[in-house]
Amino acid sequence: MPKALRIHDFSGIDGLRLDEVEMPEPAGAEVRIKVEAFALNYGDFGLMQDDYVFSLELPSCFGDEATGTVDALGPEATRFELGERVSTVTFLNEGYGVNAEYALFPEDYLARYPANLSPAEGTSIWVQYLTAYYALYVTAGIGPEDWVLITAASSSAGIGATQLAKLAGASVIGTSRTSANRAFIVETGADHVIATQEENVAERILEISGGAGARIVYDPVGGPLTAAYADAFAQDAIVFLYGDMSGEPTHVPITEAIRRNAVIRPHSVYNFVNRKELRESGIAFVYKALDDGRIKPHIDRTFPLERFREAFAYQLAAKNRRGKIIVEL
């Protein structure tokens, strides 16, 4: 019987079990994937503690980023052939967990990934790049004249946003808590790096940008960091808050926002990828850039399936993580 990683109670990592389950059978337009690798995301921890945008009926498999080969097709599935290499495209996927040896997924949220990527790299595509694409390109209309502030720049999301910003010709300022990741963040494409625990963030942004300030801020941290960069808003700045990694309340800097006509915008890939035309245009854009070799995912570390607890503990604790954490089957 195939194995699936399932949440049995909402106690965090301790509530996970690797269970033997019945082989899932695709219905309708579902596709069954023989999974080769799956990726970890911060949203996993919300699901493990019943603190996410949807809840689960336990025990439940979870996860939304995986790669594998098409193993079986539902009677209405027409977009893929048996044996094709595919990766899953993130969406509000209640009931479609992919952290398993075999997983079902709707065919509309599957995509082929370029042959120049490994399965581990292929499972690291859509969350980081589509989240950044919809913010930077669709909403902010990024261009070569822009200064972009990317916080937590050594994370997979930060790396993906940096790569897409540089693809548009923009200038990127990445942040990290300390100088430990400075060289790595520059290697991944940032033009400048600010260590937020060591430097005055707003002063450094203005100094680096020649007084222009940041028109686009891509921030999964929030909390006190938002106030730390608010004095460096460019005119008509737009701040994308797509996470709350700080764990502290994020107070909107009203005065600074009014002064520069800045917009503070909570951002989620889910609010774009559910629209067919945006999903398809985003996938096409990212696929081409990956296929051309202009962007590439970074993998921090891989774990075998039997060491899943160690993988999630590492994801939760690693302070100087550099890219995606992957479980390989």
Scan for tokens 């109670």, then name that residue. 9
pLDDT per residue as tens digits for the range 37-58: 999 998 899 899 998 888 888 9
The token duo for 172 is 């990127």
pLDDT per residue as tens digits for the range 113-152: 999 999 999 999 999 999 999 999 999 999 999 999 999 9
CA distances, 294 to each of 28, 103, 164, 175 (Å) = 37, 31, 9, 22
Closest CA to 149 of 220, 79, 89, 94: 220
Distance (Å, whole) CA 137 – CA 120: 26
Residues in CB range of 264: below 8 A, 6 or more apart: 226, 239, 241, 252, 253, 257
Task: Answer positive or negative: Cα dihedral of 72, 78, 79, 84.
Answer: positive
What are the structural domains of the chain? 3-125+297-328 (3.90.180.10), 127-270 (3.40.50.720)
| Model confidence pTM above 0.85 | yes
Terminal Cα-to-Cα distance of the chain (whole angstroms): 15
Task: Answer positive or negative: Cα dihedral of 44, 160, 239, 282.
Answer: negative
Q: Which pLDDT tens digits describe the chain residue by residue (329 residues)?
A: 999 999 999 999 999 999 999 999 999 999 999 999 999 998 899 899 998 888 888 999 999 999 999 999 999 999 999 999 999 999 998 889 999 999 999 999 999 999 999 999 999 999 999 999 999 999 999 999 999 999 999 999 999 999 999 999 999 999 999 999 999 999 999 999 999 999 999 999 999 999 999 999 999 999 999 999 999 999 999 999 998 888 899 999 999 999 999 999 999 999 999 999 999 999 999 999 999 999 999 999 999 999 999 999 998 886 667 889 999 99
CA angle 38, 40, 41 (to 5 degrees): 135
Distance (Å, whole) CA 160 – CA 154: 9
